[in-house]
Structure 1
């Protein structure tokens, strides 16, 4: 009887640990790619300092850090109010525990890829530069806030008009979420990779920079050459036609998250020899 009670207790403790671990994991996924990542890094640094001060008996430093933690909770609520609101909204939809938000339906994926491919081909023929971002699991709200909020239905005609030269929104990136153009004229972080080809301009560096910190799919049209490129996971593939771009985006948005990078690159190389992968 005692052994049975102990076994039951172990099972309950294991379930408890697994539930807490999964909640922490989903929260980290939710915060990835937002300003809260820097906050977590700062918290870890303070915890390390607190442990060192406790080990070395630095009472003043320990007192200071403990007071920072007590006051910092209110500051976090004020500063990161948008992220907290987003987390509560996803909790209400089950988005923290069940990853449903980025599970695109077949019809939606087809519409997204078709509209983007048509617009990219049109802009490519006229050598009009474009930077189009498709949000997936990593939240891009921080970058959406840097642009002009649209929340408009995604159409190729709207994309063409946004990137027309000398229009208010042609500079910067368009960010797409769930088949909607959330914002235009958005600023993206530039990649600091020293091995990027010198022939790539600011649009390509911005696309690479965002892909290095998120799982977004980025479509770039070069203003100088009209070349269409796709950027994922810090890698750029160039030289797409409209049909090839449509197939590439379909494959990228439909396949499982674990196999997105390697499988997509392998199939693309087999299917299209003319694409240069940098």
Structure 2
């Protein structure tokens, strides 16, 4: 084997090594996304930055303090963030840490859509008020912690039962996270927009509020009229027919090449003169 062949093999080995490291880092980020561990990573970054600055300017006392924090911090991390670490190990043991096909995700999203549409149809016909928020890229754990944690499989029957009037969980929002019913009776931030119609109630204001601070999709069923509404990116789409609502939900949650374009019948609340 020539020297040039050896150099090429070494270059390829180093390239594969770097790609694997980045892949593992990416998977770790996906595991901790939307959890308290995100704030932990920010704190570690700040500590490392302070450590570098203290070494650069020879701040010995501050550098020693940061060194002790780094040494003992890993033990504290293992204790405080035990649930996140356990979840990562469970996913690794099930083979889900490195392999999760797009087909699996699409099937789960389709099941979510069918369950939500079926539940919304049932509740709209009977004028049962509902507020369902679906997490996407922006983590919603801060809002999940305000409610009652469920971590249950999604089904239309469960969603309907939650919003039956005078039951313990009906007052508040249901948050769907990673194809599970993460929590019920959650508090969502109310929108403070001055352009909201006066006829809209707390559910619609909460749906708009959460859409202004996250990229979630939130569904509202009016208790007074049974009308179906959907919010995303600070926009409210009101009085949707069931088929239009399903198309909108599918377009947002599924890849563009698997669904038809959304019907032109949907409209933004800002376009309506009377709100």
- How many equivalent pairs are there? 264
Q: Which residue of 2 aligns with 1:64?
A: 65
Aligned to 2:172: 172
1:63-142 correspondence to structure 2 within 5 Å: 63-100=64-101, 103-104=104-105, 106=107, 109-125=109-125, 127-135=127-135
Give, in whole Å, the separation in 1 of the partners of 2:236 and 2:92.
Answer: 35
Q: How far off is 1:33 after superposition? A: 1.2
- Structure 1: distance between partners of 2:101 and 2:139: 14
Is the contact made by 2:121 and 2:242 (CA closer than 8 Å) also made in structure 1?
yes
- Is contact 1:134-1:177 (8 Å) kept? yes
Extract unaligned runs of 5+ from structure 1.
Answer: none
Structure 2 residue matching 1:38: 3-state secondary structure: helix
Deviation of the 1:37 alpha carbon: 0.8
In our comparison, the structure showing a higher alpha carbon Rg is 2
- What corresponds to 2:252 in structure 1? 252
- Provide closer, same or farther for how the CA distance between residues 105 and 94 of structure 1 changes in structure 2, counting only shifts above 3 A: same
The match for 2:267 is 275
Summarize the alignment of residues 177-256 of structure 1 with structure 2, pairs less than 5 Å apart: 181-188=181-188, 190=189, 197-199=195-197, 201=202, 202-205=205-208, 207-208=210-211, 211-212=214-215, 216-223=216-223, 226-232=226-232, 236-255=236-255
Distance in 2 (alpha carbons) for counterparts of 1:152 and 1:9: 49
SS in 2 for 1:171: coil
In 1: Cα distance, 2:34 partner to 2:52 partner: 28
| Structure of higher RCO (CA pairs closer than 8 Å, 6+ residues apart) | 1
Matched, 1:4 2:5: yes
Q: CA deviation at 1:57?
A: 0.7
Give the TM-score taking structure 1 as reference length. Answer: 0.77
Q: Report if aligned partners of 2:212, 2:233 keep a CA contact under 8 Å in 1.
A: no
Residues 208 and 236 in structure 2, CA contact (< 8 A), matched pair in contact too: no
Structure 2 partner of 1:33: 34
The answer (yes or no) to whether the contact 1:115–1:156 under 8 Å persists in 2 is yes
Query: Matches of 1:245 and 1:148 in 2, distance apart?
Result: 27
| Gapped regions of structure 2 (runs ≥ 5) | 271-275
